[in-house]
Amino acid sequence: MNENRGGRARRLPHHFASLTAYNAAYPDAAFPAHPADRADLRRFDAAGQGIEDDLVERGVQMSIDFLPGGVPAPDGPDRVGNVVATVWGSGPVYVLAEDALLRAAWKTIGAQWPTTLSAVQSALNDVRRYGVPPTLL
């Protein structure tokens, strides 16, 4: 699905109405089943302000999750997974990147400090293009 903004086509994120629907589609990059376990995931939310959805449900505040398992620990190995946007760990779920290096995605997003969903997508384009944050090249 694409949206045309100012002459540029922007790919809208793949949408799932619920965590259950997302987990069925991505069992290897699923959200934890229990809400308390989801709350423990390290996520990006622009210091608690939220990421504004400027693509699908304009004005809704979201957080960015790194699945499976959240952002890898600094001393542990990186993992490949999905980067998704949710309304604070509940549905709907928007898949922003599949098969991404999760630590690289975290570092790139953190370095660019996006506050909108489209800016997160832009940051993730760098990770997909280079495989690592451009600042680490």
The domain spans of the chain are 11-130
Answering whether pTM is above 0.75, one says: yes
- Where do the DSSP E strands lie in the chain? 2-5, 8-11, 14-16, 51-52, 61-67, 80-87, 90-101
| Non-local CB neighbours of 83 within 8 Å, separated by 6+ positions | 64, 65, 66, 67, 95, 96, 97, 100, 102, 105, 109, 120, 124
Instruction: Please state whether 98 falls in left (phi above 0), alpha (psi between -120 and 50) or beta.
Output: beta
91-to-8, 35, 55, 66, 82 alpha-carbon distances in Å: 28, 12, 16, 15, 15
What is residue 115's DSSP assignment? -
Q: For residue 132, is pLDDT > 80?
A: no
Give tens-digit pLDDT for 18-62: 999 999 999 999 999 888 888 888 888 888 888 999 988 888 899
